[in-house]
Structure 1
Amino acid sequence: MKRLDRYIAEQVLSAVFVILLIVVGLDLIFEFVDEADDINERYRFTDVLAYLVLRLPSRIYEFLPLSSLVGCLVGLGMLASNSELTVMRAAGISIQRIVMAVMKPAMLLAVLALILGEYVVPKTEQMAQSSRALAQSAGQAMRSQYGVWHREDDQFIHINVVEPNGKIHGVTRYRFNDQRQMVESSFAKSGVYTADGWVLDSVARTMFLEDHTSIQQVEEENWKSGLTPTLLSVIVVDPMDLSITGLWSYSSYLSEQGLDPNQYMLAFWSKVLQPAGIFALVLVAISFIFGPLRSVTVGQRIIAGVIVGLVFKFSQDLLGPASTVIGFTPLLATVIPIVICLFLGLFLLRKAG
């Protein structure tokens, strides 16, 4: 039985990695075409390649569930087309036994997703965004069109670039009073974090008084803020590219500031439950092979897998914003598609058995 499990795992994993290679490769080509429009004397061809290479783990992580579904359909479909599954069933091997054999490589894929999402993607994605912003600004951060906005107490803060080492560039702060009138704005060329807070360099400050403005220039300023390099490394990238621990800490920070953390909590539950989503999609693929897709061509299986995978992803993407509008929890928005896939897979397997 161990040899049979190994054989099934090899067929499934090889198909998954081939599908993953194709999907990620196409996505990188489309992204390269999009980035090519921004190539100039500052943002060069080599900068684009470096940016795409750094984004590779993020793309693998994003497309792993879809590739698991389609790859499982293709791998098991090849076994079915060669009548190998029929021979297994004739030898007395039950569908449940075959399901367990397929779930073993699915577990490896789930572990791979967790490792990528928690330890690799957050670092490479921050490096990718920071390197692109610095390259496009040619070292002059105020010329960058990228950056992040954040609100803290009575201040609205924009930071152009956050480097992986915690250094920040192009820090613009707007402070408002209780009547929502701007009372102060400032721009700092750069800043570094110390034990006493941020030290900003080359600060230009404008004070808006009742009948005039006052402009000040200082070489250095100490800035007390709840933002730390760890939190900045969170907000500089997309929520889905953050670690589970980073999402949880930043969601708590937003709650303390009286801001809505639902976007980050949705990403948190999506990452926590992604292994369950992979298992659910693989179960659907297995049920299709023993059920409605038992005797169709490989092309038809791929099309069916892509449709199911896209419906699964779009349903999660739609339920996320709906959870904010309607008022149910982000956890429920993430769980509903997974539960539907699990019930669908179990229903079709029971019907096939």
Structure 2
Amino acid sequence: MIMLRTLPTLTRYLIRQFLLGAGLVFALLSLVMFTAEVIDHVRRASGVDEIGLGLIVQFALLKMPSVIEKLWPFVVLFGGMLALTRLSRSNELVVARAAGVSIWQILTPLVLSAAVIGAILITVLNPLAAALTGQYEQLASAKFQGETSRITVSDKTGLWLREVNAEGHQVIHAWSASAQGTSLDNPTFFTFTRNNSFVRRIDAESAELFDRQWRLKNAVVTELDRPRQERETMLVPTRLTVAQIIDSLAPPQSLSFWELPAFIELLEKSGFNALAHRLHWNSLLSLPLMLASMVLLAATFCIRLSVRRGVVGLVFFAGTMAGFAIFFVTDVVEAFGSAGKLPVVLAAWTPAAVTTMTAIAAMFHLEDG
């Protein structure tokens, strides 16, 4: 607020109108998404007796920050459209432009405000959303699925996999793995009973996962009160799948913007594919540009609305369709990036860059064309 007081009167007024519009849209979308999450978790909890309404509301609250994080482009788009529509229909923009203020002088504070919102989101609010997402994943896994496995990776201790079964639990340690998570180098398997009593230890040259089994090569088995056994090959049953191992290695959404670079480096040192995490980090970096482009996109629909009275609903419908088109294209491009078909930087930055250039070109056409 102190910074706003130092700005020119018109700039302060424009920013205030934009923030009010974005705040209103944020409140409405939050209410809608919270209701949807509660309904979804009620459906999921229908067959679980120990999950009550209080826990369902807790699930929805923990998941809300990550859900809203994906909707911020819509918040800025619709907030910008609300603010610019009001200013256009009240002829305030006409008066400002008659006084010699160009359209770019009007849009610049709004664009910069959107970029600042994006910077705050990725540096301040994203760590909170990541922490709550991690809590949600742990709680949902325990309540809905039961704790079947736990997978962690550390620069100092390597890769650890813990799997719980009816007989007890099994802990697997390895210093590196393949990028697909299907093979481990120099793994050690520890087997314990349900009472945490030691059963056996297996040291192997390598372990390969296939068809719910670990196939060990050159294994050495150590058990209590028995001589060591050496086996050229050995099969160890498991419930883990390749997808579970990859997905359990701290999903990108559960890591904050500040933690991602170090974790990406750690995954790559451990032999895992960090493509999804690198794509997510670059997508966060592009968020300020994406939000700024949403303001420009809103302006292309609403800046000259005063000469087209009676079509407000049509304009908002067109803006909504444009927003969904951008959302769809972003998902498609990121899917190609996750699959390795596109470079990570290109997949993460293309939607924001293309939207920005398209909106700027449209504004030049409306003003000077």
- TM-score, scaled to structure 1: 0.73
Aligned partners of 1:149 and 1:159 also within 8 Å: no
2:252 to 218, 239, 244: 239
Instruction: Tell me the secondary structure at the aligned position of residue 245 of structure 1.
Output: coil
Counterpart Cα distance in 2 of 1:171 and 1:282: 53
Residue 33 of structure 1 deviates from its aligned partner by: 1.5
The alignment yields a C-alpha RMSD, in angstroms, of 4.2
Counterpart of 1:13 in structure 2 is: 19
Aligned partners of 2:23 and 2:79 also within 8 Å: yes
Counterpart of 1:263 in structure 2 is: 276
Aligned in 2, Cα 1:209/1:322: closer, same or farther, shift over 3 Å? closer
**1:9 counterpart letter in structure 2:** I
1:134-173 equivalences under 5 Å are 134-136=142-144, 143-144=146-147, 157-158=161-162, 172-173=171-172
Residue 271 of structure 1 deviates from its aligned partner by: 0.7
1:32-43 equivalences under 5 Å are 32-39=38-45, 40-43=48-51
Residue 15 of structure 1 deviates from its aligned partner by: 1.3
1:95-174 equivalences under 5 Å are 95-136=103-144, 143-144=146-147, 157-158=161-162, 172-173=171-172
Residue 215 of structure 1 deviates from its aligned partner by: 9.7
Aligned in 2, Cα 1:103/1:187: closer, same or farther, shift over 3 Å? farther
Counterpart of 1:341 in structure 2 is: 355
Residue 263 of structure 1 deviates from its aligned partner by: 0.8
Gaps of 5+ in 2: 1-6, 203-214, 225-244
Counterpart of 1:65 in structure 2 is: 73
Counterpart of 1:3 in structure 2 is: 9
Counterpart of 1:163 in structure 2 is: none
Question: Is 1:23 paired with 2:37?
Answer: no
Counterpart Cα distance in 2 of 1:115 and 1:294: 41
Which of these two proteins has the greater Rg computed from alpha carbons? 2
Instruction: Tell me the secondary structure at the aligned position of residue 312 of structure 1.
Output: helix
Gaps of 5+ in 1: 138-142, 161-168, 191-199, 218-231
Aligned in 2, Cα 1:206/1:306: closer, same or farther, shift over 3 Å? farther
Counterpart of 2:314 in structure 1 is: 300
Instruction: Tell me the secondary structure at the aligned position of residue 42 of structure 1.
Output: coil
**1:271 counterpart letter in structure 2:** L
Measured against aligned partners, the alpha-carbon deviations of 1:221-273 in whole angstroms (never above 9, x if no partner) come to xxxxxxxxxxx9x9565313421232212221221122221111100100111
Question: Is 1:352 paired with 2:366?
Answer: yes
Counterpart Cα distance in 2 of 1:7 and 1:322: 42
Measured against aligned partners, the alpha-carbon deviations of 1:59-117 in whole angstroms (never above 9, x if no partner) come to 23221122101210121112112222112212221111101132243134223312345
**2:76 counterpart letter in structure 1:** S
Residue 299 of structure 1 deviates from its aligned partner by: 2.9
Counterpart Cα distance in 2 of 1:248 and 1:293: 48
Aligned partners of 2:122 and 2:257 also within 8 Å: no
Instruction: Tell me the secondary structure at the aligned position of residue 284 of structure 1.
Output: helix
Counterpart Cα distance in 1 of 2:357 and 2:189: 56
- TM-score, scaled to structure 2: 0.70
